[in-house]
Amino acid sequence: MKKIFSLFILTGFLYSFEINGEGNINNFYFIKDSVKLVPYNFHELQLNIKNGSEKYEFYSSFVLRAFEEKGTNLEKLSLPSFKLRTHLWEYYLSIYDFLFKNLDLKVGKQRIAWGKADKLNITDVLNPFDFQNPFDFGKKYSSFSFLFDVYLPKETNFEVTFLPNFSPPLFPENFNFFEILNFYSPLLKNVKDTIIYPENKNFKNSMYAFKINSKILKFDFSLSYFYGFDNLPIFKNLIIENDTIKKIEYFFPKMHMAGFDFSGELKGIGIWGEFGYFIPRDTVIFSLFPSTPDTLLSSPYLKYIIGFDYNFKNGPYINFQFNHGFLFERYSPSIPNTLHDYYVLRIEKKFLREKIKFGLSGIGEVLNFKKLKNNYGYSIIPEFLYKIHDNLEMKIGLINISGKGKTLFNSFKDLDQFYLNLKVSF
């Protein structure tokens, strides 16, 4: 009888919550034999729970990821073939009209997305990167924070964000991210590394941000400011014993960021832009060879994105962006051309009442226009999507990568791949 009564209580409790989610099957197949990675196929299940009223809203999101593993010896062949990772992705409480009218408070582990560009957001600096799919650039996950939102007249609001603790990024399971990108000298490969985290006392690892959003005619715009830590580690020091490199140390440098972004529509054309002005607070002298030291993070720098999109009537959809400085690029005066230029184009066309969609994406990278022949990179991604049902879709595609010189795509040029993804929503 107690079990039946408990079941009724649990059913009533769950009935008061809105529950939805999605499952993703992600399969990637490398084409070249010289690939540097083991397969990184991973599958993901996300469950979202929400409950609220006019005064509050509670939201929680759980993510379960299963990464494929292959046995490296006979004993491991008897073990499960997937490594499981569980994440409490988001959990927060929103309180409307907190303390006084037009003041909202959202507290908890949350994703605070800044910027108006398409995915590759320069000013989106509050949350850490999620690189567990290393080709899903721009994906981030949540961190614990307090967000105060004050609503002002004339469609204006002012945001204040406080993050008590720094959150590091999520890196891929199966490879050394820095080794693949070849950020530093090949002499540093296979050297043990350690990460120095911001000091966790007296709020020395806390961060804060301000943002004002408003609207003029058909354009939304915002001004923002952030003071905190870069969420990708950078070289700090080498430990050398007997003229041999034993260890490399990384840390998360502090920075200021002043941002401006806008988005709107002009005669049916969507237009957007983002500008981020970064002021580093931690300078690093990299002296692997004393005669040619490199100075990192010693000067302010500007990164920006300009883009537009247009949906032709009964025709294709086109989306173009120009990026100066990729998400994890930083300017250093002693290293030439550290901020690269990227040209991103996507064309889509839908058929059969939007059940079928063909897409073609292209990214061109230029390190130095004066020496373009040996300083470029590109990626071409044709893709086919079939919507099997309202809540079930299949996507297949091909990623072709090439480049020369010290470009991002030259670092990835051996990673051409075919992918098959299935997504179900519920």
DSSP code of residue 130:
B
pLDDT of residue 359: 96
Residue 415 to residues 92, 188, 403, Cα–Cα distance (Å): 38, 22, 12
> Which tops the pLDDT comparison, 124 or 171?
124
Is residue 10 scored above 60 in pLDDT?
Answer: no
**What number is the average pLDDT over the span 285-296?**
66
Q: Give kind and range of the element (H or E) at residue 26.
A: strand 18-30
- Report the pLDDT value the prediction gives residue 202, as an integer from 0 to 100: 79
For residue 3, what is the enclosing H or E element?
helix 2-15
- Asked if pLDDT for residue 40 goes beyond 80, the answer is no
Task: Indicate the pLDDT class of residue 287, thresholds 50, 70 and 90.
Answer: low
* pLDDT band with cut points at 50, 70 and 90 for residue 182: very low
Q: Does the structure show a pLDDT above 50 at 297?
A: yes
What number of CA atoms fall less than 13 Å from residue 175's CA on the CB side? 19
pLDDT in tens, 302-324: 999 999 999 998 889 999 999 99
Is 90 exceeded by the pLDDT of residue 74?
no
Q: Residue 105's pLDDT is what?
A: 97
* Nearest one of 231, 91, 214, 114 to 161, comparing CA atoms: 114
pLDDT at residue 395 greater than cutoff 90: yes
117 within 8 A of 261, measured Cβ to Cβ: yes
Residue of 338 and 45 predicted with greater confidence: 45
For the stretch 91-126, pLDDT in tens is: 999 999 999 999 999 999 999 999 999 988 999 999
Residue among 231, 44, 260 at smallest CA distance from 133:
44
pLDDT in tens, 234-258: 888 777 777 677 778 889 999 999 9
Report residue 101 CA to chain centroid gap.
34
